[in-house]
Structure 1
Amino acid sequence: MNAYVVYPMLLQANAASGMAVHDDCKLKFLELKAKRTYRFIVFKIEEKQKQVIVEKLGEPSQSYEDFTASLPADECRYAVYDFDFVTAENCQKSRIFFIAWSPDTSRVRSKMIYASSKDRFKRELDGIQVELQATDPTEMGLDVIRSRAS
């Protein structure tokens, strides 16, 4: 039986890759954006179900190091991170980063699926301010995040 018929409210097919976005992804993102309930969210593509799901939620007290440690070393993921910083004018600010994590050591098929689904998935998350593509940890180091935030 087709999942799109059984759960029409949960899934929306992505024409480009056939990937669906679970409603929970949008819901948790809205909570991060509006209520600051989470510091970060890690999203995973479930290939068998052909959908993007929430894999991990970071508590507001967790650090950037906690976030980077939650990304698998050899598997692709999408993530959003709510980065707080102080401007040169001493103003407290925040930027929501979308990170496409695609390590060199991940499977080619996985890289292709994540790459072909990225734009459609990102459009589902309204309010992303900065996008980052990373293939190794140095490309998304805290110094990179700080320079892209301002």
Structure 2
Amino acid sequence: MANSASGMAVHDNCKLRFLELKTKRSHRFIVFKIDEKIQQVMVEKLGQPNDTYDDFAASLPPDECRYAVFDFDFVTDENCQKSKIFFIAWSPDTSRVRSKMLYASSKDRFKRELDGIQLELQATDPSELSMDIIKGRAL
């Protein structure tokens, strides 16, 4: 079903892979890309369960927009093991204006398709994706 705001459809594979990340923890992260030719959000990259946050950050292109989800494991001050699923809207300053507008107008509907997201982060620069920021938002 196309997004009424931007005409964007979401490939079924996006929801399927997100469900695997959420329930089976078979992926550490997923990077999604909008294929502008067919007006559809697609899975671009799947992170392995043992991949690190640095692996995830390195998979985001420096000058193109992407959506991503990252399963962040951490230990609380009470020494409890926890996990939070982040939705990340990556929109670097160097990306095309049309692309930024397309990703911005499609984001909310796409995010609603992924049931189970706990935190959202928007970033335009790698410094806004630092591990300190992720930890600060998760705790």
- TM-score between the two structures when normalised by the length of structure 2: 1.00
CA distance in 1, matches of 2:129, 2:82: 19
CA distance in 2, matches of 1:132, 1:119: 13
* Match for residue 2 of structure 2 among 6, 10, 13: 13
Report what 2:108 is aligned to.
119
Is there any run of 5+ residues in structure 1 with no aligned partner, and where?
A: 1-11
* Match for residue 40 of structure 2 among 33, 48, 51: 51
Report what 1:130 is aligned to.
119
Residue type of the partner of 1:92? Answer: Q
2:13 corresponds to 1:24: yes
* Match for residue 49 of structure 2 among 37, 60, 75: 60
CA distance in 1, matches of 2:133, 2:4: 33
Among the aligned pairs, what percent are the same residue?
A: 78
* Match for residue 134 of structure 2 among 113, 134, 145: 145
State the shift of 1:72 in Å: 0.1
Q: 1:86-134 CA distances to partner (integer Å, 9 max, x unpaired)?
A: 0000000000000000000000000000000000000000000000000
Q: Which has the larger radius of gyration?
A: 1
Residue type of the partner of 2:81? Answer: Q
Structure ranking higher on relative contact order (CA contacts 8 Å, 6+ apart): 2
Is there any run of 5+ residues in structure 2 with no aligned partner, and where?
A: none
Residue type of the partner of 1:26? Answer: K
CA distance in 1, matches of 2:122, 2:59: 17
State the shift of 1:140 in Å: 1.1
Q: Which runs of 4+ in 1 moved over 4 A?
A: none
Q: 1:11-31 CA distances to partner (integer Å, 9 max, x unpaired)?
A: x11111000000000000000
Q: What count of residue pairs does the alignment treat as equivalent? A: 139
CA distance in 2, matches of 1:141, 1:26: 26
CA distance in 2, matches of 1:15, 1:110: 17
- TM-score between the two structures when normalised by the length of structure 1: 0.92
